[in-house]
Structure 1
Amino acid sequence: MPEKAPLSEAPEPRTGPGPGDRIPARRVLGLAVPALGVLAAEPLYVLVDTAVVGHLGALPLAGLALGGVVLSQISTQLTFLSYGTTSRTARLHGAGRRSEAVSEGVQATWLAILVGLVLLVAGQLLAGPIARALSGSDEIAAAAVSWLRIALFGAPLILVTMAGNGWMRGVQDAARPLRYVLAGNGISAVLCPLLVYVADLGLEGSAIANVVAQVVSASMFLVALARERVPLRPDFGVMRAQLALGRDLVLRSLAFQACFVSAAAVAARTSTQAVGAHQVVLQLWTFLSLVLDSVAIAAQSLVGAALGGGAARQARGVATQIVAYGLMLGCFLCVLFAALSTTLPHAFTSDPGVLGEIPHAWWFFVALQPIAGVVFALDGVLLGAGDAAFLRTATLVSAGVGFLPLIWLSLAFGWGLTGIWVGLSLFMVLRLAAVLFRWRSGQWAVVGAVR
């Protein structure tokens, strides 16, 4: 077995990246576009599911909404199974150690199964209390529990799919994850109306279709892993290392959740029109975050591979290039949504009160796109370098100093949506300052197959 590349932070003779350190734009697109497809597949499936269940009536739709929020926390809080696995796998792949890179995927998959089974058991026990606590209505809680108890059987499979995405991105295979996820969601999208209406299973039919999607996708990832012909036995030492990286990413995700849940709570206490406007603009923000995050995923894979191969200068060159792409994409989105300011909101609502509130958030949303482009790109660079501890601290500080105080001050002083989105803007500016400082310092560019 080849020796591990040594860790090193020693400066190289040339301080800045040169033309030879750039990579073709088509290579970035070859990773970013399929990643965007994977990221967008789940929200698009949820829209189909919502449309099908929506015709059953208000109560099943409310149950689906509540159950879906609970289930989505699994993928939201456990992103380390994809992002963390990409970081570790990419370094080994860059060092020319593909079998060890794939073995990281094996251990991430074991971890996904173990954590998923714990969540399945805990979810079955706690589904009722959680649903009642969130809904405040026994009828809605009962509908949510009936959906959730079935959908939770897909929890281990959701995590297996996340681990599969992680190791495949790490070895720069972006096409197969897209095919696997689209296959599962596509079959389920066809099956959902059949089970809900033709088989007359109602809301439970939606949950069964959801599990079928996870079975199909996860099975394809498992078969792909088996075909790699690497040892499939669990290695608890590697899993512990993955959990250490996961701890930082989970804490970072919790900071995001605290901020956005607080923002929704304050908007709801401002007025019905304000919460409606906030929901419209926030959903657009979330969608564009997926677009920008696809560039970050490409950065993870490319930077991790460069550092794993001992090419710190190339990693810095790739980082500079990715930041430029993120900035350009952010500026494009800024101009596009500024131009759509008078027309696009009408596609979401015809309520005059909501339309009157939207501008209080809209122009913050528009102005933040170039900042978000750079922040997300550098998030990808630093995650690819395995610098999750820094990102954790930067996010927690930015949330604690910027976003959360302004959200609750908005409630106290009646600043409404303007105060909430000023808080989000300060949060993003503080994150921008932190990741720019880290990027320029070069301290993240630690070479070696492991970190």
Structure 2
Amino acid sequence: MPRLAVPSLRTLRSAPPTPGREIARIAVPVSMEFVLMLVLNFVNQIVVGGLGATAIAAVGFSNSLTFILAVTLGCLGTSVSILVARAHGAGRRGDLDHTVTAAVLTALVLGVVVSFVPWFFADRVMGLVGASDAVAAAGTDYFRLTVLATLPVMLSAIMSGVLRSVGQPARPMVATMITVVANSILALSLVTGLGPFPALGVAGAGWATLITAVAKTLILLWMAYGRKVIGWSLPDSLRQWHAVVVPLFVLALPLGVTELFWTVGTFLYNVVFQQLGDEALAAAQIVTTLEGIFIVGSIGLMAATTTLVGRSVGSGDVDAAMAWVRRVTRAGVGTAAVFGVLFATSVLFLDTLFAEAGRDVRVMAGVGILINAAFQVIKVRNMIIGAGVLPSGNDVRGVILGDAVGAFLVGLPLAIVLGLHTPLGYAGIFIARIVDEAAKLAIFTWRARRIRWHALVDSTAPLPA
């Protein structure tokens, strides 16, 4: 009888991964990284929550302002990750290095401007944009410190995107793990005056954020450049500069516009909550922070989309690109269902985690959690299609259209009507945000079906020398 051939362990390890494993290899570390980042914010909120509802509202309101800067400028990292994935898939190392170098130089210039200009006017900004006197007084120092973290956050976004696109998604997760632990210790120490540290109150959380943002950037720069994953290489000619910078900004500028629409829309929802009082604003911040922890359990699928689709486009494989879109979109339904249920169960822990915030705040937060958890699938699909599929297909106009229509033509007007002019109050604002997301999903899905993948592959092919 002939002997059966049994594959060795080495053969099994060297076998090409299944599509599911390939998605998980990218998505799981990225999701874990973002979960850790939001756990960091959540720990800070719990620490600050010991100071009362006004402190929670102040930190949340400040974060919604700095979030506009960080996410809008973070579009540079998304643009780089897509272009690096294409260059990596095509084996063009020179283009890869030139793209990253140009992006880092751009981030340095933009980061200095957007970090220091708001710093000088921090005492006026919060009051001008709708914060109550108590919230503005409590949050100004925190805002001043966290806005300085914009530059290192931009550089971290670029380096993280690069490492994921070249097949090393676990390294950004390691950097995040280190800095999350450091931030939690620093925040607790500086807010409460633990040990030899002074009790700085809300500002202590700002110092912890700034210090660890710089530390994370230094770690990622070492992982990318110190470990020779990429090289510092300036383009040699005007033609090379043009070939690198134009695609970088063709993607980054529209992505920046759509991120600006999205973050400004998020901020304006907070302004509407503020009209109902500091307690309503505090409840909204609790919901946002908790939801973030669970929704980013699926955010790795967005990174998997830009990476896997980008590599397929770079290698000229249209069928593979379209297949990755289908696989990742299906995976998002499953992860959204699981994390939506977990998010809903978080209402059971509000009394323990936010005892000092007050019963009214906890009740409002509980209602917001249940409303948002019921529609988690819509938000995850928007994240995958709007931030993964459409940018990978060079349809950033579709992203802008969805974000602008969903927030400014549908969601915010409805929030004002339901929240301020009906008995629904705060619950009406949460409902309006769900309607906003449903409008976005309809637009994103329509635009995704219009992507011409064959034309995209032809347009990204390198020109003959």
Band of TM-score, shorter chain: 0.7 to 0.9
Tell me, yes or no, if structure 1 residue 396 matches structure 2 residue 418.
no
The residue number in structure 1 matching 2:440 is: 431
Q: Summarize the alignment of residues 107-186 of structure 1 with structure 2, pairs less than 5 Å apart.
A: 107-133=102-128, 135-137=131-133, 141=136, 144-186=139-181
Shift, 1:108, TM fit: 1.6
Q: Is the 8 A contact 2:118 2:147 kept in 1?
A: yes
> Which shifted more, 345-354 or 277-286?
345-354
AA in 1 matched with 2:42:
L
What TM-score, normalized by structure 2, do the two folds share? 0.79
- Tell whether the 8 Å contact from 2:54 to 2:278 is kept in structure 1 after alignment: no
Aligned to 1:302: 308
Maintained 8 Å contact 1:63/1:143: yes
Per the normalisation by structure 1, the TM-score is 0.81
Contact persistence 1:87–1:386 (CA under 8 A): no
Following superposition, the deviation at residue 183 of structure 1 comes to: 2.5
Give the unaligned 5+ runs of structure 2.
1-15
- Taking the aligned partners of 1:59 and 1:288, their CA distance within structure 2 comes to 25
User: Aligned-pair distance for 1:269?
Assistant: 3.6
Q: How does 1:30-429 map to 2 (within 5 A)?
A: 30-52=25-47, 67-133=62-128, 135-137=131-133, 141=136, 144-193=139-188, 196-197=193-194, 198-200=196-198, 202-203=200-201, 206-226=205-225, 227-228=228-229, 230-233=231-234, 237=242, 238-239=244-245, 241-270=247-276, 278-336=284-342, 340=345, 343=348, 346=351, 353=360, 361-379=368-386, 380-410=388-418, 411-429=420-438
Provide the C-alpha distance between the structure 1 equivalents of 2:341 and 2:136, rounded to a whole number of angstroms: 43
Asked whether the 8 Å contact 2:41–2:289 carries over to 1, the reply is no
Give the SS at the match of 1:28.
helix
Cα gap change, 1:53 to 1:277, in 2 (>3 Å): closer
How far is the alpha carbon of 1:99 from its aligned partner? 3.9
Bigger shift: 49-58 or 367-376? 49-58
> Would the alpha carbon gap of residues 443 and 419 (structure 1) be closer, same or farther in structure 2, given more than 3 Å must change?
farther
Q: How far is 1:261 from its partner?
A: 3.0
Are the structure 2 counterparts of residues 419 and 120 from structure 1 closer, same or farther at C-alpha, using a change threshold of 3 Å? closer
Deviates more, 1:321-330 or 1:424-433: 424-433
Question: 2:451 and 2:234 mapped to 1: Cα distance?
Answer: 37
Cα distance in structure 2, aligned partners of 1:349 and 1:52: 10
Q: 2:103 & 2:457 partners in 1: Cα distance? A: 22
Deviations 1:268-309 (A, max 9, x none): 445777556544444443333322222111111111111111
The answer to whether the 8 Å contact 2:283/2:362 transfers is yes
Gaps of 5+ in 1: 1-20
Separation in 2 of the partners of 1:33 and 1:131? 37
Amino acid at match of 1:430: A
Q: Which amino acid aligns with 2:378?
A: I
Q: What is the alpha-carbon distance in structure 1 between the residues aligned to residue 135 and residue 287 of structure 2?
A: 26
- 1:376 CA drift (Å): 2.2
Give distance in 1, aligned partners of 2:216 and 2:209. Answer: 11
Mapped contact 1:35–1:294 kept (Cα < 8 A): yes
Structure with higher RCO (Cα < 8 A, 6+ apart): 1
Distance in 2 (CA, whole Å) between partners of 1:273 and 1:188 is: 27
Alignment partners' CA distance in 2, 1:55 and 1:414: 31
**For residue 321 of structure 2, what is the amino acid of its counterpart?**
A
Contact 1:82 1:163 in 2 (8 A): yes
- How many pairs were matched up? 429
Distance 1:401 1:120, change over 3 A: closer
Contact 2:61 2:270 in 1 (8 A): no
Q: Is the 8 A contact 1:22 1:318 kept in 2?
A: no
- Distance in 2 (CA, whole Å) between partners of 1:104 and 1:176 is 20
Distance in 2 between residues matched to 1:106 and 1:396, nearest whole Å: 32
CA distance in 2: counterparts of 1:297 and 1:262, whole angstroms: 27
SS of 1:291 mapped into structure 2? coil
